[in-house]
Structure 1
Amino acid sequence: MSDLATQKRVAAAVMKCGVNRVRFDPERLSDIENAISRSEIRELVADGAIGAAPIKGNSRGRARIRTEKRSYGHKKGYGRRKGRAGARTPSKRQWILRIRAIRSSLREMREDGSIDRRTYRKLYRRAAGGQFRSRAHMKAHVDMTKGRNE
């Protein structure tokens, strides 16, 4: 068998793929051997004597399984973490989540009548000032001050 390295290189250039992806039909090797110009190689590509192997790519299967497990809290232990807690969920993001929760519960309390408009406004401003750690803390404060007049 003769050396078909030149044909392989030219075929790779014609098909716009890598040399390692070029495949020759074993029954048409004599035709491929005689092809010395790019136009002859193009004809052989059109005939199907020369082809390109499919691109392999990397499987995402394992990555999908890992992501799914992380969605319900697995594979997130201390050994997996790089960076401090503030890097994983920044303090601003924590604040946004907390203030949204507090404000939505304040809205609910105002609508169901457990607090009046004046108290709502007062508590809203206090929440904005960071007085409440959480929804529960805010509700405990409301319950505590219920009897007293603020």
Structure 2
Amino acid sequence: MTSLKSQRRLAAQILKVGEDRVWIDPNRIEDVEAAITREEIRKLIHEGVIKPLKEKGVSRARARIIHQKKKKGLRRGPGSRSGAAKAKISKKEAWMKKVRALR
């Protein structure tokens, strides 16, 4: 199989995407090999031989799961809290801890 590096690069510039996002039809590789000018590449894009692949997004699945757990009141323990010692524990909780130790 011959290298389609220059064709891929031209197609990426024309489509305004990265080289990794250029899809070339495996059944029409001979036509792509023959195309050496921008005009020929544009023609192949118009025919649908070369297409831009969709951009991959970031999945929110894990974020949704964590959000549901936080709604239930989970993931809010002392290990999940950040901040100063007095900010982490409320005045009431600190007092309760102190009084229980005295009893």
TM-score w.r.t. the length of structure 2 is 0.77
Cα drift, residue 87 of structure 1:
6.1
Cα drift, residue 86 of structure 1:
7.0
CA distance in 2, matches of 1:7, 1:81: 53
- Structure 2 CA distance for partners of 1:87 and 1:5, relative to 1, 3 Å: farther
- Structure 2 CA distance for partners of 1:63 and 1:86, relative to 1, 3 Å: farther
Matches within 5 A, 1:15-94: 15-84=15-84
Deviations 1:22-46 (A, max 9, x none): 1111111111011111111111011
Counterpart of 2:57 in 1: which secondary structure?
coil
- Structure 2 CA distance for partners of 1:85 and 1:8, relative to 1, 3 Å: same
Look up the equivalent residue of 1:62 and give its one-letter code.
R
TM-score w.r.t. the length of structure 1 is 0.54
Deviations 1:43-68 (A, max 9, x none): 10110100122111111011011012
CA distance in 1, matches of 2:59, 2:39: 37
What's the % identity of the aligned pairs? Answer: 45
What 5-or-longer segments of structure 1 have no aligned partner? 89-150
What 5-or-longer segments of structure 2 have no aligned partner? 89-103
Structure 1 moving runs of 4+ over 2 Å: 84-88
Deviations 1:80-103 (A, max 9, x none): 111137768xxxxxxxxxxxxxxx
Cα drift, residue 14 of structure 1:
0.7
CA distance in 1, matches of 2:37, 2:46: 14
Q: Tell me, yes or no, if structure 1 residue 5 matches structure 2 residue 10.
A: no
Counterpart of 1:51 in 2: which secondary structure?
strand
Structure of higher CA gyration radius: 1
Counterpart of 1:8 in 2: which secondary structure?
helix
- What root-mean-square deviation, in Å, do the aligned CA atoms of Structure 1 and Structure 2 show? 1.7
